[in-house]
Amino acid sequence: MRTARRASNVEVPSFLRQLVKETEKMVTFFFKGGTREEGPGEEDNLDEDDSMPSPYLDRPILEKHVLEGGSELGVSYAVASMQGWRAQMEDAHTCMPQLRGELTEWGYYAVFDGHAGSTVAQYCSRNLLDHILATGTANEDPEQVKEGIREGFLDIDRRMHKLARQDNWDRSGSTAAAVMISPRCIYFINCGDSRTLLCHNGQVVFYTEDHKPFNPREKARIQNAGGSVTLQRINGSLAVSRALGDFDFKEVDWRPQTEQLVSPEPEVYELERTPGDEFLILACDGVWDAIGNEELCAFVRSRLQVCNDLRDICTQVIDLCLYKGSLDNISIIIVCFPGAPQLSQEALQQEAELEQQIDMKVEGELSRDEDPDLLYVIKFLTAEDMPGLPPGGGITSKRESIISAYQKHVMALRSQEPMVRHVKSHDIRFGCKKKKIKSRFGKHTHTKIKRKKI
């Protein structure tokens, strides 16, 4: 399949890989709005906290796991996940474009965002659908389908509670965001703060609501169960109000499942399918912490017009969220319907012109600087008014193109270094001196040769 130019396929030499490693964290924090400055006495506090394991790594794990597939009914999907800055990978997912038996025209997709461990998320990814189908209500009566989904969630949570006691499971929990697609309807399922949205004719027409402890309805249930909401968390600890697992918050035996501090009950909505449906996005909060619904819809839609590899679009979303500051595990599923945007020659031409513009700007900036720096170049491009950037992504989404251009032009500059060294030594012999001058950003400095009069 032909796609737009992908800079990430270019072989990066060892010197540039080292440079990227050294500046990776700086670039990440730059896109978050600047590095965090230490307060007075903070170094001492850090030493005291060394005994506590950090939930974050010194460097993100950038390896991505990707998968794609589709059904005979014209629905295609791709999924990608990355551990990122988190010390452990706790996300899981399920993708079944066609169910078995009498439900071959149905599809099921789900993202599970684990916390305090991965056991619950992994168990749900393998078994939740079976618990839903065991209710026997997967038919074209929307109310029966929704009730079957709800009962399936409660049933698997009861089952896991018994297993956790018997087998001494970890204390993990997991959110769940899922869709079941029938020939007539799309069923949106949410339990926690992962999220699903539908893009229809270029617009977000539906998205699920996050279950947070400070939401009025959730807060009332938590307080009725004897808990409190402190620092926007249940008892100052858990940041979601509905989840599977989390059995430390479900120990009041005389209360029903749905009235515990943490409820396993999902909210389920149905929408009738139409030809204008373009694509679904299911993602954990590692995505939604970094980008909004409309932004992500616009970005994915623009990428579908220049790239026909859904796996690549998923990885582009992950990179975008990482460099917008996401510190969490990141998982995303994109499900495309027949009405999704297709490759556009006009969009491909605009994308090629944009990448050419980026290349020229990088070359121009490096030609003015004796000591080119990747972070400096990215700052420069961020400050530039550059038309044609991907909607919802901006210059952050073109980081791979920037690195590719930087690599090419730095190598060209290095090939000229022997001649530059000869000129410098000639100037020194004839009494040259160096003068520090400030760049347009004020902090970056470089040298300028100025001859002395003899």
Residue 90 near residue 123, CB atoms below 8 Å: no
Residue 9 in this model has a pLDDT that exceeds 70? no
The beta-strand segments (E) located in 231-294 are 233-234, 244-245, 267-272, 277-283
Residue 101 in this model has a pLDDT that exceeds 60? yes
| Residue-wise pLDDT tens digits, 54-98 | 889 999 999 999 999 999 889 999 999 999 999 999 999 999 999
Topology (CATH level 3) of domain 346-448: Arc Repressor Mutant, subunit A (1.10.10)
For residues 407 and 13, what is the distance between their CA atoms, to the nearest angstrom?
8
Q: What is the mean pLDDT of residues 205-209?
A: 97
Q: Where in the chain is the domain with CATH 3.60.40.10?
A: 56-341
If one looks up domain 56-341 in CATH, what number appears? 3.60.40.10
Residue 329 near residue 286, CB atoms below 8 Å: yes
Q: 149 or 55, which is more confident?
A: 149
68 Cβ contact list (under 8 Å, min separation 6)? 76, 77, 78, 79, 310, 311
Residue 145: predicted pLDDT: 95
The beta-strand segments (E) located in 256-329 are 267-272, 277-283
Q: Where in the chain is the domain with CATH 1.10.10.430?
A: 346-448
Residue 244 near residue 193, CB atoms below 8 Å: no
Least confident of 130-144, 188-202, 382-396: 130-144
- What predicted TM-score, i.e. pTM, was given to this entire model? 0.82
Task: Please tell me the total number of residues recorded for the chain in this structure.
Answer: 454
Encoding tokens for residue 315?
A: 């990885």
Q: What is the mean pLDDT of residues 237-265?
A: 96
The per-residue pLDDT of the chain, averaged, comes to: 84
Which has the closest alpha carbon to 158: 134, 183, 187?
Answer: 134
At 149, give phi and psi (nearest 5°): -65, -45
117 Cβ contact list (under 8 Å, min separation 6)? 88, 90, 170, 171, 172
Kindly tell me the burial class for residue 100, based on how many C-beta atoms sit within 10 Å of its own C-beta (0-12, 13-18, 19 or more). Answer: exposed
Cβ neighbour number for residue 12 with a 10 Å cutoff: 15
Which has the closest alpha carbon to 360: 381, 342, 387, 336?
Answer: 381
For residues 112 and 370, what is the distance between their CA atoms, to the nearest angstrom?
49
